[in-house]
Amino acid sequence: MGKEREIKLRIEDLPGLRRRLAKLGARVVRPRLHERNALFDTAEGLLARREQLLRIRTEVPVSRGGKHVLRTVVTFKRPVVTSRAGENRERHKVREEIEMEVSDAKALATIFEGLGMNRWFQYEKFRTTFGLRASNAWAVGLLIELDETPIGVFLELEGPASAIDRAAKALGFEKQDYIRKTFSHEDYELISLTGNLTLREQKPYIHVHASLGNSKFEVFGGHLFEAVVAVTVEVTLIEMGFMPTRQLDKSIGLSVICGVQ
C-alpha cells in the first residue's frame, strides 16, 4: 500500500506552460495517452461517504508508432488516517493508494457490478507525463502530468512535498493556486453562486464563489473552479456596461481588478 501526495493546478496559458517546462528541463517520460476512466460505488454511495474511490482506467496510446501498449489499471484510494479524526492540515492532497494492472477491464467491471457496484461516473482525458533529469536530485520521485480534459487543462504534480512545492514555484505558481479538494463523489445542491467575469491578460477570467449542500445537510463554500451540471442550473448575469481588467499584484500574489477596458 502506497501513499499518494499530489496537487492540481489550473492551466490558463498552455504554450506558456510548455515554455516553462522546457526551461525547467522537463522531458516526456510517457507520451500522450487517451485515458478512459470509470468510477464504481454501491447504490447507497458507501465509498463516497467514506471519501474512497474505486476506478478502472484504460490507457490507449495516441501515437500508434510508440512502444507503449494498451494498459488497464484498477485503483483504490482512501484518506490517510490522521491522529485526530477529520483533521488533515496537509497543503497537498494525500491519500493511501493501491494500484495494479489487470488484463481485462470489461471482465473486472462485470465482477464489480456482480458485487453490487454501479458504474456511476465515466470521464476521458489526454495525459502526458513529464519528469526531470536524474541530475536534479531534489526532483527524485516527482511526476509532472499534463491533463487535457473537457473542462480545461490541468497540471498534476505528484511526489515528495518539497519537490512539489519547488516545481510549482519554478513553473510560476504559488501555494494559493493549489487545487486539493474535489467534490465529485455525489450530487450536490447549488445553494449560492456569486462572482464576476473580467479580463486577465486579454482573456476572459471567471472568479466565482459557491456554496454547496449534500444529502447530510452539510454545506461547503469556497472558490468554484469547475462543475458538471446534473440536470439544470439557473444563472443570472448582470451586464456592467464595461469590462474590468485584472493584473497581478506582486505584493499579495493575487490578480486584482485594476482598471476598465
- pLDDT given for residue 65 in this prediction: 61
191-241 pLDDT, tens per residue? 899 988 888 777 787 888 889 887 778 888 877 766 777 678 888 888 877
What gap in Å lies between CA 261 and CA 253, rounded to an integer? 22
Q: Which whole-number Å values give the CA distances from 10 to 20, 57, 148, 220, in the listed order?
A: 15, 22, 11, 21
What gap in Å lies between CA 117 and CA 109, rounded to an integer? 9
- pLDDT given for residue 139 in this prediction: 93
Taking alpha carbons only, the member of 20, 10, 17, 5 closest to residue 177 is: 10
Spell out the residues 6+ positions from residue 250 whose beta carbon is closer than 8 angstroms to its own.
none
Under 8 Å between Cβ of 34 and 59: yes
- pLDDT given for residue 27 in this prediction: 95
| Residues in the chain with pLDDT values less than 50 | 83-88
- pLDDT given for residue 84 in this prediction: 47
- pLDDT given for residue 100 in this prediction: 96
Taking alpha carbons only, the member of 188, 191, 184 closest to residue 216 is: 188
Cell numbers that stand for 65 in this block: 508508432
Return the amino acid letter for 244.
P
The order of strands in the sheet holding 244-249 is 219-223, 203-213, 189-200, 244-249, 254-260
What gap in Å lies between CA 250 and CA 66, rounded to an integer? 43
184 secondary structure, DSSP code: -
Residue 172, SS3 per DSSP: coil
Straight-line distance from the first to the last Cα atom of the chain, in angstroms, rounded to the nearest whole number: 54
Tell me the pTM: 0.67
